[in-house]
């Protein structure tokens, strides 16, 4: 799609939102959407219920295979599988591919939750054949990430990665899910965001509590990431293969 075609497509989508629709048309469209959402939920639950304990790895789809973050994500995933965890990613390229590749290398469970996007996204070849699940709705996909993960490793990424990170933090903060470990990888990458959270949210505006900063751990290496996850489960006398 050319830049002009993309611009026209976006304008048409905006105009569509302002089209006048009668009540029956709105009701019919919404009813069919409910059925599609239900089908994605059911398919996701049935596919994910059998995977066993897993860690989700989030990160940019744009990371190249020769980038240090790609190699680091692959190493983390491989070591996690050797410690009893499977790996869940968004199923696409970049950091997601690295996570699935590392899981495959470690001979562990490799899950891909793929989303239908007009760019960037395509299934990577390292997902287990029976563990590739496709979604149209971001929010249904995020349910699967949050419901079936026993930990979250967050590599450098863009808006989508931040969305997934803050989703996990919010659900843990509000006690909607258990306090599973969240590991941020890359101290230099996350430093600015964490400084802003401390300066603005905590100290200046007081929109979070100081203990909320303990909901995640900042690391630089694969060994540190894996150690934090293992220490969490050792603390509660649990094993990844329970």
Per-residue pLDDT of the chain (242 residues; tens, 9 = 90+): 677 766 776 777 666 666 666 656 666 777 888 999 999 999 999 999 989 999 999 999 999 999 999 999 999 999 999 999 999 999 999 999 999 999 999 999 999 999 987 665 578 999 999 999 999 999 999 999 999 999 999 999 999 999 999 999 999 999 999 999 999 999 999 999 999 999 999 999 999 999 999 999 999 999 999 999 999 988 877 677 55
Backbone angles phi, psi at 140, to 5 degrees: -70, -45
Cα–Cα separations (whole angstroms), residue 30 to 23, 25, 26, 44: 11, 9, 6, 21
Three-state secondary structure call for residue 12: helix
Cα separation, 128 vs 103, whole angstroms? 10
Q: Which CATH number fits domain 37-235: 3.40.50.300, 3.30.70.420, 3.40.50.450, 3.90.440.10?
A: 3.40.50.450
Closest CA to 134 of 143, 142, 123: 123
pLDDT at site 25: 67
CB under 8 Å to 95, separation ≥6 — which residues? 57, 58, 59, 60, 61, 63, 69, 70, 73, 89, 155, 156, 157
pLDDT at site 241: 59
Cα separation, 179 vs 197, whole angstroms? 20
């Amino acid at each position: 799609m050319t830049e002009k075609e993309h611009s026209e497509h976006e304008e048409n989508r905006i105009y569509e939102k302002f089209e006048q629709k009668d009540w029956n048309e709105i009701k019919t469209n919404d009813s069919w959407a409910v059925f599609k959402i239900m089908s994605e939920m059911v398919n996701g639950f049935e596919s994910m219920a059998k995977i066993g304990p897993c860690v989700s790895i989030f990160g940019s789809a744009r990371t190249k295979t020769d980038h240090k973050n790609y190699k680091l994500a692959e190493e983390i995933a491989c070591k996690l599988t050797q410690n009893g965890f499977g790996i869940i990613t968004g199923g696409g390229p970049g950091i997601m591919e690295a996570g699935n590749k590392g899981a495959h290398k470690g001979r562990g469970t490799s899950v891909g939750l793929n989303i239908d996007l007009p760019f960037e996204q395509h299934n990577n070849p390292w997902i287990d054949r029976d563990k590739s699940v496709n979604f149209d709705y971001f929010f249904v996909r995020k349910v699967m990430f949050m419901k079936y993960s026993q930990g979250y490793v967050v590599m450098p990424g863009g808006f989508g990665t931040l969305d997934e990170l803050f989703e996990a933090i919010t659900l843990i903060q509000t006690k909607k899910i258990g306090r599973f470990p969240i590991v941020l990888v890359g101290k230099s990458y996350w430093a600015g965001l964490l400084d802003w959270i401390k300066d603005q949210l905590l100290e200046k505006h007081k929109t979070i509590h100081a203990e909320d900063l303990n909901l995640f751990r900042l690391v630089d290496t694969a060994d540190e990431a894996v150690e934090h996850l293992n220490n969490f489960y050792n603390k509660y006398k649990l094993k990844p293969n329970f």
